[in-house]
A = this chain, B = another copy of it.
Amino acid sequence: MELHPDRLLPPDPGVRDIARRLYQSVQDLPIISPHGHVPPQWMADDINFEDPTSLLITPDHYVNRLMHAHGVELSTLGVNQKDFTADQKREAFRTLCSMWPIYRGTPVKYWFEHTFSEVFGITQVPSAATADAIYDQIDAAIKTPEFSVRSLYRKFNIEVMATTDDPCDDLHWHQQLIDDPTWDGRVLPAFRPDKYLEPARPDWNESTDRLAEVSGEDTSTWQGWVAAMENRRAYFKAHGATSTDHSHSDAGTEVLPVTEAERIYLAARAGTASVEECTALRRHMVTEQARMACDDGLTMTIHPAVVRNHDPEAFESYGADVGADIPHAVEFSRALQPMLSRYGNHPNFTFVAFTMDETVYNRELGPLAGYYRSVYVGAPWWFIDAPESISRFRDNVTTSAGLLKTSGFIDDTRAFCSIPARHDMSRRLDAGFLANLVAVHRLTEDEAVEGIHDLVVTCPRKAFKL
């Protein structure tokens, strides 16, 4: 196994030459990662990873779900297992390697090959026969100081990385990083208040009580909830946050009359609000976050429309985020209208919409970002963080939104070692996209060089105010 220097670049020799030059012009730029799921503790404590399986398999639902689709129980991969022995870990790694062909054509294979080769210097192709040798080589490496998280952070040339955090989190890991004179990286919290915005959730009242405790505001009233939210956003901003992140079952926004918001809020607190009222209140709460964003300037990102925990048995056995979420269709044009008609052109508001339903790129998100001052189209993420989707994304949004009303690449990952692979993948594909525009004489090569620099650094810095 070895990485070809031209991987992912367009096959046509003429276009590839252009793409190669474009790629080389951004290849060594630092990684800007404004949204992801790496735990801040890793950087704060500069940990070393324990073993290859808990690093590369167990926490990564991208990897596990396809093995599950081929009959592997998640428990045997260590998912939600309290006592997962060294033997079991080695066995899980053997399972992965022996099933290597199931990943053909997937981005997971691509990321793994990059990680194995570039991070760990593995030259063997994963298989039942090579599993143990690969395991041992990685296991030995990750115990050395060169593979501590901070060492890798520097090696990966990460300029800034955001984590995803609960509004009630005290952000002490982030504080520890701020207070650490030996740390010169930049790890920022991001405000993810979903569960506080869903009055229909069984745990909403409890969450809202907790919000009161942490913020010191009285959340028995609607005004108190608003104040508590403003308080926590300010706390996050004071700890370096530049964005808030939101994921609900739809993209709905709504502006309720204040008295109606108050009435439903009290009913929800009393447990008597109907499903429809809870939905209306949630949409109003989302719109309130936009209003707050106009004030405090935190970028607002959304990525709605996924059936969470589609497989109830897996949810019972393993909990959330184990790969059993399934996307569904989403609508933005009408759903965002109440919010955008109020705040869409506010000079202090930045709004990034992500999707896993690619049909909206061309039809809705491109046109929205190509008109409203606040709107940026988010890069393909999660299920569509894949070469084909990234290419289609540019083919679909550039027409209406150009290059500059897009978010820059988002890795959205908890797989730390795959971060360089993902960002590098995106740069190669954007180079191919722009090379094609040069080849059909829609851009000069000079314009394309500027364009790819914009995509790699200008866009994420602007969209996330970094």
> Is residue A415 within 8 Å, beta carbon to beta carbon, of the partner chain?
no
B371 lies within 8 A of A8 (CB): no
Query: Shortest beta-carbon distance, A341 to chain B, in Å?
Result: 5
Q: Which residues of A contact B (CB under 8 A)?
A: 3-4, 6-15, 65-66, 68-71, 101-107, 109-110, 307, 310-313, 323-324, 326-329, 331, 333-334, 337, 340-341, 344-345, 347, 356-359, 362-364, 366-373, 375, 383-384, 386-389, 394-396, 398-405, 436-437, 439-443, 447, 450-451, 454
Contacts of A107 in B (CB 8 A): 399
Instruction: Give the chain B neighbours of A104 by CB distance below 8 A.
Output: 402-404, 437, 443, 447, 451
Stoichiometry (number of copies): 3
CB distance from A328 to the nearest CB of B (A): 4
A328 adjacent to B323 (CB under 8 Å) = no
The smallest C-beta distance from A287 to any residue of chain B, in angstroms, reads 15
Q: Do the beta carbons of B404 and A9 come within 8 Å of each other?
A: no
A358 touches B347 (CB 8 A): no
Nearest to A443 among chain B residues (CB) is B104
For A402, the chain B residues whose CB sits under 8 A away are 66, 102-106
- Complex Cα gap A11–B9 (Å): 14
Q: Are A440 and B7 in contact (CB under 8 A)?
A: yes
Q: A372 CA to B313 CA in the complex, in Å?
A: 12
Docked CA distance A103–B401 (Å): 8
- Report the Cα distance A169→B447, complex, angstroms: 47
Question: In the docked arrangement, what's the CA distance between A344 and B324, Å?
Answer: 11
- Find A405's partner among B15, B69, B356, B439 (CB 8 Å cutoff): B69
The residue in A371, A372, A386, A404 that gathers the most chain B C-beta atoms within 10 A of its C-beta is A371
Contact of A65 among B328, B371, B387 (CB under 8 A): B371
Which residue from B69, B369, B386, B394 sits with its C-beta under 8 Å from A375? Answer: B69
Contacts of A442 in B (CB 8 A): 7-8, 105, 109-110, 387
Which residues of B sit under 8 angstroms from A347, Cβ to Cβ?
71
A-B contact pairs, 5 of them (CB 8 A): A11-B12, A11-B439, A69-B373, A310-B340, A383-B400
A359 CB contacts on chain B under 8 angstroms:
329, 357-359, 363
The 8 Å CB contact of A329, one of B313, B363, B366, B399, is B363
Most chain B beta-carbon neighbours within 10 Å: one of A323, A328, A398: A328
Is B362's CB under 8 angstroms from A440's CB? no
Is A362 in contact with B389, judged by CB distance below 8 angstroms? yes
* A441 in contact with B313 (CB, 8 Å): no
